[in-house]
Every structure is written in C-alpha cells, then in structure tokens.
Amino acid sequence: MIDSDSRNKLACSVCGKPKEIRLEKCHDTFGKNNPLCSNSDKCRIAEKTNEQLNYIFSSNGKNIFLKACPGSGKTESVGLKAAYEIRRWNRKVGGVAVLTFTNSAADVIADRVTQFAGIEKLRYPHFIGTIDSWLHGYMAHPFSHLITCYKGREGDCSLRIVHESSNNDRLKAFKLDTAYSYFRNTESGSKTLAAMPLYAHDIRYDHEDAIWEIKIPTSKSNEYMPDDNYFSSEAFTEFRSDKQWLTLEYLRKKFKEKKNQFNQAGFATYQDIENICYQLLYEVFEFAQLVASRFPFIIIDECQDLSWIQLQIFKRLREAGSYIHFVGDLNQGIYAFKKVYPHKVREFIERNNFLTLGLSRNFRSVRPIVELCGMIIAQGDIKGESPSKNHDPACVCFTYNENEIQKIVDRFVSYLKQRKIAPEKCAIGARGYSTVNKLRPGSSRIPEKKALWLPTAIHLWENGRAESMEEALKCIGRFVADNFFSSESTNSRAYYCPESVSSHIRWRLLLAQILDGCLESATLSNLKLTWKVWSK
C-alpha cells in the first residue's frame, strides 16, 4: 500500500506541487493553474492505483517486467515512471531511453512525459522513440562502418535504407548469381521451370537459426523461405541437377559475399540494421559497455512484440550494465509473421531473473467482457469495471464473411440506434492498421499494381479524412519516387522521399501540391470515367 506521504512526495517531484499543500487540496488550488491537472476532474497523481504507484516507485537499478493487462493505464504509468526518473536524474553521463514500436505510440508517451515532468520538450541525455529509430541513431548509422567497412560519403557513414520491395536501378549491381527457381503453368496446363532474379535486399540472415532466408518473389505478402527449404525444393532441385558444384554451402557463401558487398556500398534493409547492431554489440570490443553507459536505464513498451534478435540486443546491454524494464501483455503479441513469439519474451524474462510487477485492473472493459476473455485465454486475476444496467448485455458478438468486413460498421451503428446509444459517442477499435483500412471505406493501402498508385492517391486525397490523406501521400510519394527518382534510394517512412531531397517536410509539401493540382484538373479528378478513358 502506497501511503499519502509517498503520493505527496511524488506530486512534489513530478508536477511541482508545493510542499505546504496537501495532495487532496492541490487540485482545487495549485492544480487549477497547472496544465497537468487543469483539464482533469481530479488530481492525476491521486487517481493512480497502488499497483501503478508500486511501479512508479520501483527501482531503476533492477530489471523489471510490468505485466499490464488491457486497459490498465499502462501508457500513463510508463509516462509517469519516465517523468519521475527524469526529474530526479542526477547522472552526468547517460540518460533514460523509453522505447516502443510505432511513432504514434512514441508520441503519446512523449506527450505524457512532458506533461508529468512539466517540460516543453525532452532533451539530452534522454530519448523517447521507436526501437528502430534508437538502433539507427545511436548504433547503426554512427558505427556500422566498423562492421560493414563502408567508407561513407564526405565523412558521413550513415547507411541508406532499402525497402524490401524496392526495385531501384542502383540495386541491380547487387544481383545474386543464382536466381529464384519456380514452376510456372503454361497455356497447355503443363509446368515449366522458370526463374526470377534475386538481389541482395531479397535475402536476410537469421542469427537465431544461423541460416539465410530468401524472399519469395511470387509472394504477395513478402514471405521468406529458409535457404535449406529452398535448396531442397522441387524447382531448385531440378535447376541444380546438372550442377554438382551448386551445394547449400556454396549458396550460403555467395549469399554472404553479396550481402557484404551490399552493406559495404552503404546500403541496408531494416533487417540488416538489426543484424549490424547485433554484431556491433557482440563483436566490437567494449561497444556494449559504451552503449550501456549512454543509456543505463531503458524502458521498453509493448515488450511482447520483441523479436529474438531484439531480445539478444537487450540481453547484451543488460550484461554490459543497463537496467531494463519490460512493459506489456504477453497475451497481445500479434507479429508471428515477423517471427515474434511472446513465449520467447517470457523465457527471456525468467532466464534473466526479472522482477514481475502487475497492473491487473482493466478500466476499459466491464466485468462480463473481462470474464469472457478469461474463458478464451488464461490471463490471471484481472478485474473489470461494473457494468451499467443500460448497456446489458455488455458483450455482443458480430460475425461476418471474410470479404464483407465493412458491413460490420453498418450493423454496429444499427445496433447502437436500437439500444438508443448515440453512435458519435462510440468507437470501433481494430488490432492492426490493415484491418482499420478495411473497415474505413475511404482509406486503403498502397495498391500492388503501379498503375493504380496515382488514381488511388487522388481518390484518397479527395476523401479529406486525415487517415485517407496520409495514405494518399504514401501513394503519390511512391508514384513520384518510382517514376522520377528510380536511380535513388528512398525512405518509405517519409513518403518515399528520395535521398537527393534533404528535407522530408519539403517533400511532403511537394506531394500535397501535386495532389491539389490533380484535384484542380477536371480530367485527373474525374474518377467516374472508365479506366481506358481516364488512363489516356
């Protein structure tokens, strides 16, 4: 149990509450003018549960796993914990790193930290952002040349990121000697051996299994195949039937040589970046100790989404002196397609003797929903909110055909109206942006066919929704980069901004101007025309 004195000390430390004002009186006096609490019904510190405060006061000199159930105020707890540590941080060297998986999640946490810490912007020596941006900024870009031997350009040894679906002309220099063999159906219905070229960015090395993986060119979802499976496949077996020299060892040797050439030229995929960071930490003398001294305390949000190689990176930093807090719910892992398995995170926590703390109160769901979830998956002792009599039943299941997911929206709105619940006060949540896009009729992902990039961008831009316009910028960015900057590397996370454009903001403004111009064109903006007429 956290006593009132501890809560008072926390409020004094974090939000600047005067010592002479008791916590229960602060919200109506000092708190009225404090941006942290002025828009809240009650004190943001006083409302925290004992479980949340147990974590806030936990040691930054221990490795801890905060097991947070859904709706438990996890983000609020992470933000307050980070703010508390930052406000009392007195080390001359090194800072706090708070890492998560998406830019939007990082922005939310950063906003909470600045609120609680009473600062406009987080500054050196601390960091809040995605794991990718942290690895890129503090390890890969400054130090990758120690592994890749890339000489850089004008003193800049930063790597140029290549997207796995890129078809940049410059990448043809890194074509593999061996193509991807497969069987293609002929017009007569028979099968014939065919081949598609492979490039250095089409292969990746898996340190966990010590194998190479090959992107399947014919796959629409960027699937990869282990090298031994490919080697023994029917198509490749037929291809190498008269090539006794083409062994699996030879194939792996050539893969390594071509990937090294690719990296040495200053190129890397996102998977390459993680592999390079792994090598830096395990192969470069005292590198791990230097990173650990720079970030002696690391909080990782949504830890259930950590991959094997990311776990090894943090394992090395823990061994080198960093203390690590994992925060998340191991029942919510969704990235199996990225070889992310929550049971490996659980094993890591147990093997490295993490202290487990819990957040077990679900503020977001009523008790019947929590109990129903408990029947589906073992989740421990989680407490839900008391249901309102006006909203009985608390849980309703809608089913739908795979290709009719959008009908769920209309059915949900109809149900709300039957129950006399205002639709504008309700929301539909979905796990994964791809599902959100399917539910939202005005938004979609970038089409696979290049010819559809421009009309899709125009359609989404005309829609006017913030999410649709975001997708429109991605579509038009891909279209412009592919047609006018095909010889350059592009940044897929900045609307495919080419390397020759120094400002991502200027690139985005250019794309917006292009789309505005398209809408002003009577021909381009008329998407009611047939494709044959419009495409002329």
Taking only the tens place, the pLDDT of each residue in 44-85 is 777 888 899 999 999 999 999 999 888 878 899 999 999 999
* Residue 375: pLDDT band with limits 50, 70, 90: low
As a whole number, the mean pLDDT across the chain is 84
d(CA 470, CA 378): 38
Note whether 76 and 6 are same-domain residues. no
One domain for residues 176 and 136: no
Nearest CA to 264 out of 150, 140, 152, 158 is that of 150
486 occurs within a structural domain: yes
Q: Show the tokens assigned to 285.
A: 């003398």
Domain for residue 193, yes or no?
yes
The partner residues of 268 in beta bridges, in order of sequence, read 161
Residues 6+ apart with CB under 8 A from 137: none
Query: For position 371, what pLDDT does the model report?
Result: 63
Is residue 245, in this structure, part of any structural domain at all? yes
For the CA atoms of the chain, what is the radius of gyration?
27
| Average pLDDT of the residues in 519-531 | 75
Question: Which strand ranges, in their side-by-side order, compose the sheet holding 203-206?
Answer: 203-206, 211-215, 224-226
Task: Tell me the sheet residues that pair with 491.
Answer: 497
Residue count (the chain):
536
The band of 388, judged by pLDDT with boundaries at 50, 70 and 90, is low
Q: Are residues 296 and 253 in the same domain?
A: no
Residues 221 and 247 in one domain: yes
Of 240, 265, 290, the last residue of a domain is: 265
Q: For the residues 83-96, what does the mean pLDDT come to?
A: 91
Give the CB-side neighbour count of residue 81, counting CA atoms within 13 A.
Answer: 31
Boundary (domain end) residue, out of 205, 238, 265: 265
Minimum mean pLDDT range among 53-67, 481-495, 501-515: 481-495
- Which residues constitute the domain of residue 9? 1-33
* Measured distance CA(404)–CA(400) in Å, rounded: 6
Is there a single domain that holds both residue 454 and residue 526?
yes
- Select the more confidently predicted residue: 211 or 42: 211
Task: Quick: pLDDT tens for 154-209.
Answer: 888 889 888 877 777 788 899 998 888 988 888 777 888 888 899 999 999 999 99
Of the residues 324, 359, 394, the one at which a domain ends: 359
According to the model, what pLDDT value does residue 310 have? 96
Angle at 468 between CA 450 and CA 480, to 5 degrees: 35
- Separation CA 212–CA 205 (nearest Å): 5
Q: Determine what percent of the chain is predicted with pLDDT higher than 90.
A: 36
User: How far, in Å, CA of 129 to CA of 115, rounded?
Assistant: 16
Do 79 and 25 lie in one domain? The reply is no
Query: How many separate domains does the chain show?
Result: 4
pLDDT score, position 443: 45
Residues 310-318 have a mean pLDDT of 97
Query: Does some domain include residue 201?
Result: yes
165 and 257 inside one domain: yes
- Minimal CA–CA distance to 300: which of 451, 143, 132, 431? 132
273 falls within a domain: no
Decide if 20 is inside a domain: yes
Identify the residue whose tokens are 């292969």: 203
Statement to judge: residues 131 and 226 lie in one domain: no
Nearest Cα residue to 511 out of 489, 526, 496: 496
Q: Which two tokens stand for residue 387?
A: 């249901």
Give the residues across from 153 on adjacent strands: 156
d(CA 380, CA 51): 15
- Under 8 Å between Cβ of 70 and 362: yes
Tokens of 415: 């149900």
Q: Looking at the structure, do residues 290 and 314 belong to the same domain, yes or no?
A: yes
In this prediction, residues 399-418 reach a mean pLDDT of 82
Give the residue carrying structure tokens 């006018």. Answer: 484
Band of pLDDT at residue 426, cut at 50, 70 and 90 = confident
Of 126, 82, 128, the closest CA to residue 107 belongs to: 128
Q: Of 44 and 101, which is predicted with more confidence?
A: 101
Looking at per-residue pLDDT, the higher value among 232 and 429 belongs to 232
pLDDT of 390 strictly over 70: no
Phi, psi of 98 (to 5 degrees): -115, 115
Do residue 112 and residue 176 come from a single domain?
no
Domain shared by 256 and 328, yes or no: no
Q: Does 442 have pLDDT greater than 70?
A: no
pLDDT at 337 over 60: no
In which residue are the tokens 């000092």 written? 30
Question: What is the mean predicted confidence (pLDDT) over 523-529?
Answer: 74
Query: Whole-model pTM?
Result: 0.76
Give a yes or no: residue 145 inside a domain: no
Distances from the Cα of 157 to the Cα of 137, 162, 290, 294, 395, angstroms: 12, 15, 19, 21, 55
Q: If we measure between CA atoms, which residue out of 38, 35, 56, 33 comes closest to residue 120? A: 35
Q: What is the pLDDT of residue 378?
A: 66
Check whether residue 165 and residue 260 sit in a common domain: yes
Q: Beta-strand (E) ranges in 447-532?
A: 490-491, 497-498
Q: What is the CATH number of the domain that holds 109?
A: 3.40.50.300
Residues 6+ apart with CB under 8 A from 91: 296
Mean pLDDT throughout 267-276?
94
Q: Once rounded to an integer, what is the mean pLDDT over residues 310-315?
A: 97
**Cα 18 to Cα 31: distance, rounded to the nearest angstrom:** 10
Strands 64-68 and 355-359: parallel
* Cα dihedral sign, 416-417-418-419: positive
Position 6 scores a pLDDT of 79
Is position 236 within any domain? yes
Q: Which of 188-202, 261-275, 345-359 has the lowest mean pLDDT?
A: 188-202
d(CA 260, CA 50): 52
- 91-119 mean pLDDT: 88
